[in-house]
Amino acid sequence: MRQDDSGEDTRSPARRRFVAGSVALAAGGALTTSARGAEQPSELVPPWMRTQGRPVLSPAYGQPSAHEAAVRRIQFAGTPTDTAAASLTPLQHLHGIITPSGLVFERHHAGVPDIVPERHRLLVHGLVKRPLVFTLDELMRFPAVSRMHFLECSGNTLTEWKKPAPTVQHTHGLLSCCEWTGVPLATVLDEVGITPDARWILAEGADAAAMTRSVPLEKALDDALLVYAQNGEMLRPEQGYPLRLFLPGFEGNMSVKWLRRLKLGREPFMTREETAKYTDLMPDGSARQFTFVMEAKSVIVRPSGAQQLKGPGHYEISGLAWSGRGRIRRVEVSVDGGRTWRDARLEEPVLPKCLTAFRLPWHWDGSPAVLQSRAIDETGYLQPTRDALVTARGVNSYYHYNGIQSWRVTERGSVENAHA
């Protein structure tokens, strides 16, 4: 074994790389000095080190770097107008599991109302012992909780029923994850008192569409929240300011925004949004109704559609997994179109009804590959293949698609939707 004066093995790969780098750096420094003269600044000192930066509180509300201008929501093309519309979260550009408030997807039925918080009221009535009207200030006096949960539109991934979309923002962008702060709905229901025959709650929003959905009382008493804050600040207007209902793990339209009324009753209220819409058309012509829970799902976000690999070598496959029934237990990844699978590493925290990040090291040899992931939640539910889902439900559904997503890597390193 060869050793230098320090006793270290000079044949060590790490040692050789360090020495080689030091020589190159020294040579580069000598060239810079001889070419420019000792008085000239080195190219290693960038221009932003030679001048003062912008002052504090400019702007007063922080904004992303101008170099991140491409990280933005885009409008979903499948909605009819600018007010009855949706926008998509750029999952391919995000890191971790929390979605910044300014990038959380939007879905509106009649635009975003401009609500004066001091004038907003929540009426709780119907099959209750003491019908009450609450101001926002009164609701904020109740003991609050903060929880991290995903929010997913039931139409997320609807493109994959029939016509594949190019990027993960287009396929899975009706998905976000935030810290939600508010009052447990059970606390407010305890304040009004529930009559023994109550089984359902009608939730109504204060937007021009008067968005309404029927909510099982069992869910309301379990983990439902009356939310007024998101990611540490008050709700954004497009997310329901000043008050929204939040039902962890349920389809997003049921977490009614701009919440103004809760009416308790014996039966579901059969509103427009749960009869003419938000049902699942089956192959025999029948329609599934009240498919509340968002089943286990996952997607690889890097590498994913429209991204480009820069030649063979080491890459990290990373993605997100979630389930409306609880925690993610495992995520398996395939690089050969589902013929073989490997367990990915789950990143902490792994929380119920929350996005879970997963990672897997991968050496790409330059040959074509098909990348897939499949989630298994704590109930044992396994995310299905697209073929299995279509066999069971046909292709006339619009909502609740949770099939395995496939990304094809070509020999050129380009990544595209394989729709497998």
Q: What is the pLDDT along the chain (420 residues), one digit of tens a residue?
A: 444 444 444 444 444 443 344 434 333 433 333 344 455 556 789 888 889 998 888 889 999 999 999 999 999 987 778 899 999 999 999 999 999 999 999 999 999 999 999 999 999 999 999 999 999 999 999 999 999 999 999 999 999 998 899 999 999 999 999 999 999 999 999 999 999 999 999 999 999 999 999 999 999 999 999 999 999 999 999 999 999 999 999 999 999 999 999 999 999 999 999 999 999 999 999 999 999 999 999 999 999 999 999 999 999 999 999 999 999 999 999 999 999 999 999 999 999 999 999 999 999 999 999 999 999 999 999 999 999 999 999 998 889 999 999 999 999 999 999 975
DSSP string, 219-233: HHHHT-EEEEEETTE
Same domain, 163 and 243: yes
Side chain identity at residue 68, one-letter code: E
Q: How many domains does the chain have?
A: 2
- Specify whether the CB–CB gap between 146 and 179 falls below 8 A: yes
* Joined tokens for residue 175: 């998905």
Residues 263 and 323 in one domain: no
117 preceded by a cis bond (ω within 30 of 0): no
Q: Show which of 240, 260, 288 is a domain's final residue.
A: 288
CATH code of residue 144? 3.90.420.10
Closest by CA to 183, choosing from 129, 137, 238, is 137
Same domain, 208 and 84: yes
59 preceded by a cis bond (ω within 30 of 0): yes
Q: Work out whether the CA dihedral 154, 156, 157, 161 comes out positive or negative.
A: positive
Are residues 114 and 223 located together in one domain of the fold? yes
What is the residue type of 260? R
Domain span at residue 136?
A: 71-288
Q: Are residues 248 and 354 in the same domain?
A: no
Question: Is 11 inside any structural domain?
Answer: no
Instruction: Write down which residue in 268, 288, 308 finishes a domain.
Output: 288
Instruction: Give yes or no: residues 141 and 232 share one domain.
Output: yes
> Is residue 61 situated within a structural domain?
no
H or E segment to which residue 137 belongs: helix 136-139
Question: For residue 388, what is the domain's CATH number?
Answer: 2.60.40.650
